[in-house]
Structure 1
Amino acid sequence: MLETRLDTGRIRAARLVIDPLFLDTPLYRCEGLEPGLGCAVSVKLETANPVRSFKGRGTELVAGRLIDMGARDVVCASAGNLGLALAWSGRRRGLNVAVVASRSAPAAKLDRIRALGARLELVDGDFDQARERAVDIARGDGVRLLEDSQDIETCEGAATIGLELVDAAQPVDAVLVALGGGAMATGVGHVLKALAPGVEVICVQPEGAPAMARSWHRRSVVTTGPTDTIADGVAGRRPIKAVLDDLLQVADDAVLVREESIIAGMRALLDHAGLVVEPSAALGIAAVLEDRERFAGRHVATIVCGSNVDLDSYHRWIGAASIR
C-alpha cells in the first residue's frame, strides 16, 4: 500500500471532471528517435491541448472544485504554464484569476496569460519570489491560493497521465518524467507504482536547478541558491516537504542533466519527431543521451510536457546545437 497524499480512486474520478480536451493525449512509438538513443522510445504528447502543457489537467480539477465551493477568486505563482492553464480553466468557469510571475518568464507564456483575461503581476527575481508575492495577495485579499504540487489537485490531475500510460497497448520498461515542483512526478509515479510496479520511474532535472533531485537523494529538503537553466518550467529552489515525501515513495531515481544535453534533446525532438518543445519537455531525451548504456535495449516512455517556448530563444538554442 502506497503511503502518499494521492488516492488512485480520486485520480480515476478526476477524469470525469477534467475537460476531455486534456485527456487521452497521443502516445506513440517514435522510431525516428531510436537510432540516436539506442533504445525503443514512446512519446506521450502533453502539448496537444489548448494550453500546450500538462498543467491543464490539474487546473481543471482546481477550477471545478472552486465552483463547487462557491468561490470565485484564485491566485497562483507560476513560471508560465500553470498560470496559463489556470487562466484557461478559470475563464471557462467564470473565475477571477490572478497570476504572479517573474518578469524574466518567457514572453510567449506571459502574453497568453494576459490574452486569456487573467490579471498578471510581474515581480523581479525568480519563481520563489513570485510564490512569496502570491501568498501575500492571497492573505491580503482573502482569496484561494493555488500552490502547484502542494495542492493535491495539481498532482492528481497530472496523475491521469499515468492512467493513460498504464492502459497503453504496448508496455514500457521505464517512464522519464520532468522534475520541478513534483506534481507530475508524484502523480504519474503514484499511478505507476500502484498499477504497474514493474515500470521504473525516473525523474529528470537540470543540473542548474537541482533542488528536488538533491532532496530526493538526501531524503530531506535541500534548498539551493539561484538557478541557472534554460528549463524555466522546473527551476524551483525550495522543495515542499509533503511533495518530497510523496516522491520518495514513488520515484526509483532522480537524475541531473547538463544544459547541452537539454538543447540536444530539443533538437532531436525537432529533427526526428517534428516537435517544437520547451526545454523542460526535452529532459527525458536528455537523460537518455547522457546514459545510453542504462537504457540500451529497453523501451522507455518520455512525457513531452510543454511547448510554450519563446521562439527567438528556441532558434538561438537550436542554432547553437547545429553549429556544434
Structure 2
Amino acid sequence: MHTLDLDLERIARAAQVIDPVFLNSPQYVDEQLCAALGRRVLVKVETLNPLRSFKGRGVDLLARELAPGTRMVCTSTGNFGQAVGYAATRRGLKAEVFVPAGISQVKLTRMRSLGARVHEIQGPDVDGAARAFAAAHPEAVLVEDGQDARIAEGAGTIGVDLLKAGPIDAVVLPVGDGALITGVGRWLKEHSPATHIVGVCAQGAPSMATSWRLGRPVGTEGAHTFAEGIAISDPIPASVARMRVLVDQMVEVCDAQILQAMRTALVTLGVVPEPAGAAGLATLITGANVDQGLLPRLVSAP
C-alpha cells in the first residue's frame, strides 16, 4: 500500500509539535452557508495565521528536521514560498524561492516580507532553475510540495482537527500538488474510513484529476485558470500514487464557479478566500492571499 510512506504516528506527533499558530484553526457550522449550499456543512478556515494558508503546517514539520544554515530551495506561485520563507527565518535556515514571472504581486510581496529571497524566472522551466540552483549549493535542500512525505504529514493534521467535530460524511479539498488531500486522506481513511474524500481541480488545470483517473502522471502544456494555487501542469508521481489509494472522487470546476464560491464565502462567512481556497468551499477554506485585481470582480453582481 503506497500510503505507508505517510506515517500515521508522524501525523499524530505533528499535531503536537507544529508551530501552534497553524494548529486548531476555526471550524464551525455556519447556517447561512448551509442554506446557500443546501446541506449541513462544517467549514474550516485555514487563513487566520501569518501565512493566510494551510501551507505552514507541512513546511514547519519539515524545517524543524533540517540542520541550521540549510538553504531551502523551492518553486512556488506564492503560498508554499511564503511558508518556506516563514519557517526558514524562524529556524535559522535560508529560503530561496523560484517563481514564474508575473505571479500575484500580493504573494510576491508577502514572500519577501517573510524572509524568502525570490527569483523571478522568465519562461516555462522554473523547476529547472530551482534544481540547478540547489545542485550548485552543497548546503541546499530542494523542497518539493507533493513529493516530500513530511509536507503531506504536516497537512494531515487538518484531518486530526476535523474529526474533533465528530463523524464527517465527506471532505472536499482543493488539489494542487496533492500534499493536502493525501495527508488529510491518510488520517481520515484510518480513523474515519466511511468518510468520502473528494478532490477539486480547476477545469483549466486538469492534470491532477486526469492523472488520478488514469493512474499515472499526465502533464499538460500550461494551465489556464485564475486559481494559481491549484494550477498544476506537471504532476509529481509520488503524489499521484498516494491519491490513487486515498481519494475517492475528483471533480473539476470552472473559473466562474470558483468566483461564485468566493462570493458565497464573502456573503455568508465574511471571509475572502483566494480562488484555490474557494475550490474546496464545502469543508475547507485553505488560502486567503487574494490578488487585489480580483476584488472588483468579487464584489460585483454575478
Alignment partner, residue 298 of structure 1: none
Q: 1:56 and 1:310 mapped to 2: Cα distance?
A: 20
Query: Is residue 202 from structure 1 mapped to residue 198 from structure 2 by the alignment?
Result: yes
Query: Which residue is equivalent to 1:295?
Result: none
1:265 aligns to what?
261
Partner Cα distance (1:2, 1:131) in 2: 25
Checking the alignment, whether the CA contact within 8 Å between 2:6 and 2:150 is kept in structure 1 is no
Alignment-derived partner of residue 283 in structure 2: 302
Q: 1:128-155 CA distances to partner (integer Å, 9 max, x unpaired)?
A: x322211111011121010001011110
Aligned partner of 1:284 in structure 2 is 280
Runs of 4+ aligned residues of structure 1 deviating over 3 Å after TM superposition are 1-4
Which residue pairs with 2:53 in the alignment?
53
Worse-matched range after superposition: 235-244 or 263-272: 235-244
Q: How far apart are the structure 2 equivalents of 1:192 and 1:319?
A: 36
AA aligned opposite 1:308: N
> Who is 1:314 aligned against?
294
Is 1:244 the counterpart of 2:240 in the alignment?
Answer: yes
CA shift at 1:15, angstroms? 2.2
- Residue 161 of structure 2 aligns with which residue? 164
Tell me how far apart the structure 2 counterparts of residues 130 and 302 of structure 1 sit (CA, whole Å).
32
The answer to whether the Cα contact below 8 Å between 1:205 and 1:213 also exists between their aligned partners in 2 is yes
Distance in 2, Cα, partners of 1:218 & 1:145:
28
Q: RMSD between aligned alpha carbons? A: 1.4
Counting aligned pairs with the same residue, the percent is 40
How far apart, CA to CA, are the structure 2 residues paired with 1:71 and 1:319? 45
1:24 maps to a residue whose letter is: N
Residues 2 and 114 of structure 1: CA distance in aligned 2, closer, same or farther (over 3 Å): closer
How far did residue 319 of structure 1 move? 4.1
- Amino acid corresponding to residue 109 of structure 1 in structure 2: K
Give the letter for the 2:36 counterpart.
G
**Aligned position for 1:97:** 95
The letter for the 2-side match of 1:309 is V
How far off its partner does 1:188 sit?
0.5
Number of residue pairs matched by the alignment: 301
Shift of 1:284: 2.0
Deviations 1:79-105 (A, max 9, x none): 100110111111111211111111121
TM-score normalised according to structure 2 size: 0.96
| Counterpart contact for 2:69–2:92, Cα < 8 Å | no
- Tell me the TM-score normalised to structure 1 length: 0.90
| Amino acid paired to 1:111 | T
CA deviation vs aligned residue, 1:206-256 (integer Å, no higher than 9, x gap): 000000001111111111111110100011111111111111111010100
Contact 1:62 / 1:154 at 8 angstroms: preserved in 2?
A: yes
Asked if 1:25 corresponds to 2:25, the answer is: yes
Matched residue, 1:44 = 44
Letter in 1 for 2:186: H
Q: Structure 2 unaligned segments of length 5 or more: list them.
A: none
The alpha-carbon deviation at position 117 of structure 1 amounts to 2.4
Secondary structure class of the residue paired with 1:134? helix
Q: Secondary structure at the match of 1:24?
A: coil
